Chains A and B, each alone.
Chain A
Amino acid sequence: MRLSTLFAAASVMALAAGGQALAGPTFDAVKEKGFVQCGVNGSGLPGFASVDDKGNWSGLDIDLCKAVAAAVFGDASKVKYTPLTAKERFTALQSGEIDLLSRNTTWTLTRDTALGLDFVGVNYYDGQGFMVPKSLGVKSALELDGASVCVQTGTTTELNLADFFRANNMSYEPVVFETNDELIGAFQAGRCDVFTTDQSGLYSSRTKFENPDDFVVLPEVISKEPLGPVVRHGDNEWGDVVRWSLYAMVEAEEYGVTSENVDELKANSTNPTIRRMLGVEGEFGKALGLPADWAYQIIKQIGNYGESFERNLGANTPLKIKRGLNDLWTRGGLQYAMPFR
Chain B
Amino acid sequence: MAVQERASAAAAVQPPVTERITVLAWLKHNLFSTWYNSLLTILVGYLLYLVLVPVFRWAVLDATVSGDSKEACDFAGACWTLVKVRFGQYVYGLYPEDQRWRVNLALAIAAVAMVPLFLERFRHRLTYAVGLVLVYPLVGYTLFYGGWLGLPVVETPRWGGLFLTLVIAGVGITASFPLGILLALGRRSEMPVIRSLCVAFIELVRGVPLVTILFMASVMLPLFLPAGVNFDKLMRALVGVALFSAAYMAEVVRGGLQAIPKGQYEAAMALGLGYWQMTGLIVLPQALRLVIPGIVNTFIGLFKDTSLVTIIGLFDLLGMAKLIVTDPRWLGLAAESYIFAAFGFWIFCYAMSRYSQHVERRLSAGERR
Write the residues of chain A forming the contact surface with B, with a CB cutoff of 8 angstroms: 10-11, 14, 17-19, 21-23, 42-47, 50-55, 80-85, 87-88, 91-92, 94-97, 181, 204, 207-210, 312, 317-319
| Residue pair A50, B326 in contact (C-beta under 8 Å) | yes
> Does the CB pair A210–B230 fall under 8 Å?
no
Closest to A49 in B: B326
- CB pair A83–B332 under 8 Å, yes or no, is no
Task: Provide a sorted-by-A list of 12 A–B residue pairs whose CB atoms are within 8 angstroms.
Answer: A14-B223, A43-B323, A50-B326, A50-B327, A85-B313, A91-B222, A96-B227, A96-B230, A207-B332, A209-B332, A317-B328, A318-B70
Residues of chain B with a CB closer than 8 A to A54's CB: 97
Give the top 9 A-B pairs by smallest Cβ distance, nearest first: A44-B326, A208-B332, A42-B313, A18-B227, A95-B222, A14-B223, A21-B227, A44-B323, A50-B326
**B313 pairs with A52, CB closer than 8 A:** no
Known pairs A51-B89, A53-B85; A46 contacts B313 (CB<8 A): no
User: For chains A and B in complex, what number of residue pairs have CB atoms within 8 angstroms?
Assistant: 116
Overall SS of chain A's interface: loop
Q: Let me know if B328 and A50 touch, CB within 8 A.
A: yes
B226:A18 contact, CB within 8 angstroms: yes
A21→B326 contact, CB < 8 A: no
Asked whether A88 and B227 contact (CB < 8 A) given A181-B334, A210-B75, the answer is no
Q: In the assembled complex, which residues on chain B have CB atoms less than 8 Å from the CB atom of A42?
A: 313, 315, 319, 323
Contact across chains for B332 and A50 when beta carbons are under 8 A apart: no
Chain B residues packing against A (C-beta within 8 Å): 68, 70, 75, 85-86, 88-89, 94-97, 155, 157, 215, 218-220, 222-228, 230, 233, 310-315, 319, 322-329, 331-332, 334
- Contact B97–A55 (Cβ < 8 Å): yes
Name the A residues within 8 Å of B222 (CB-CB): 91-92, 94-95, 97
Among A19, A84, A208, the residue within 8 A (CB) of B331 is: A208
Within the assembled complex, what's the spacing in Å between the Cα atoms of A115 and B328? 32
Of the residues B219, B228, B332, contact of A87 by C-beta under 8 Å: B219
CB pair B96 A55 closer than 8 Å? yes
Q: Are A51 and B226 in contact (CB under 8 A)?
A: no
Distance in Å: Cβ of A69 to nearest Cβ of chain B: 16
Q: Is the CB of A80 within 8 A of B157?
A: yes
In angstroms, Cα B230 to Cα A85, docked, is 18
Contact A91 B227, beta carbon cutoff 8 Å: no
Given contacts A55-B89, A91-B219, contact A46 B328 (CB under 8 A): yes
- The answer to whether A83 and B226 touch across the interface, beta carbons within 8 angstroms, is no
Q: Is the CB of A46 within 8 A of B157?
A: no
Contacts of B224 in A (CB 8 A): 14
Output the nearest chain B residue to A52 by Cβ-Cβ distance: B327
Report the minimal beta-carbon distance from B80 to chain A, rounded to whole angstroms: 15
Q: Of A46, A81, A181, which is in contact with the most chain B CB atoms at under 10 Å from its CB?
A: A46
A95 vs B322: C-alpha distance when bound (angstroms): 27
Q: Which partner residue on chain B sits nearest A15 by CB separation? A: B223
Which residues of A sit under 8 angstroms from B88, Cβ to Cβ?
A: 55
Whether the Cβ atoms of B230 and A95 lie closer than 8 Å is: yes
Please indicate the chain A residues that have their CB under 8 angstroms from the CB of B228 in the complex.
21-23, 96
Cβ-defined contact, B94 with A51, below 8 A = yes
Question: Nearest residue in B to A51 (C-beta to C-beta)?
Answer: B323
Q: Residues of A contacting B75 with CB < 8 Å?
A: 210
CB closest chain-B residue, reference A210: B75
CB distance from B340 to the nearest CB of A (A): 16
Contacts of A82 in B (CB 8 A): 157, 233, 313
* 4 additional A-B residue pairs with CB within 8 Å, beyond A91-B219, A95-B225, A204-B331: A42-B323, A82-B313, A85-B312, A207-B328
Q: What's the minimum C-beta distance from B163 to chain A, rounded to whole angstroms?
A: 13
Q: How far is the CA of A88 from the CA of B236 in the complex (A)?
A: 14
A54 to B312, CA, bound (A): 24
CB-CB under 8 A for A50 and B323, given A55-B97, A207-B331, A208-B332 = yes
A11 touches B223 (CB 8 A): yes
Q: Separation in Å of the B86 CB from the closest CB of chain A?
A: 7
Partner of B327, one of A46, A84, A88: A46
Please measure, in the bound complex, the distance between the C-alpha atom of A282 and the C-alpha atom of B70, giving whole angstroms. 49
Measured in the bound complex, the distance between the Cα atoms of B318 and A43 in whole Å is 11
With a cutoff of 8 Å between Cβ atoms, the chain B residues found around residue A84 in the complex are 313
Shortest CB-to-CB span from B323 to chain A, Å, is 4
Q: In chain B, what residue has the closest Cβ to A184?
A: B332
> Whole-angstrom distance from the CB of A26 to the nearest CB of chain B?
12
Closest B residue, CB atoms, query A56:
B94
Chain B residues with CB below 8 A from A318, complex form: 70, 328-329, 331
Closest to B70 in A: A318
Among B97, B328, B331, which residue has the most Cβ atoms of chain A within 10 A? Answer: B328
Q: Taking the nearest CB of chain A, how far is it from the CB of B71, in angstroms?
A: 10
Q: Select the residue from A17, A42, A92, A204 with max chain B CB neighbours within 10 A.
A: A42
Contacts of B313 in A (CB 8 A): 42-43, 82-85, 88
Q: A14: which B residues are within 8 A, CB to CB?
A: 223-224
Give Cα A319 to B226, complex, Å.
43
Q: CA separation between A280 and B331, bound complex, in Å? A: 43
Which of B88, B331, B334 has the most chain A CB within a 10 Å cutoff?
A: B331
Residue of B nearest to A207 (CB): B331
Provide the residues of chain A in CB contact with B223, threshold 8 Å: 10-11, 14, 91, 94-95
**Assembly CA distance A319 to B224 (angstroms):** 41
Nearest B residue to A20 via CB reads B227
Q: Is the CB of B227 within 8 A of A45?
A: no
Q: Nearest CB to that of B94 among chain A residues?
A: A55
Kindly list chain B residues whose C-beta atoms are within 8 Å of the C-beta of A94: 222-223
Contact yes or no, A52 B227, CB < 8 A: no
Please report the C-alpha to C-alpha distance between residue A285 and residue B220 in the assembled complex, in whole angstroms.
38
Q: Using Cβ atoms and an 8 Å threshold, which residues of chain A touch B314?
A: 83
Chain B positions within 8 Å of A80 at CB level: 155, 157
Measured in the bound complex, the distance between the Cα atoms of B328 and A208 in whole Å is: 10
When distances are taken between beta carbons in the complex, the residues of chain A under 8 Å from B89 are 51, 55
- CB pair B332 A88 closer than 8 Å: no
Contact for B329 among A17, A52, A85, A210, CB less than 8 A = A52
The minimal Cβ–Cβ distance linking A207 to chain B, given in whole angstroms, is 4
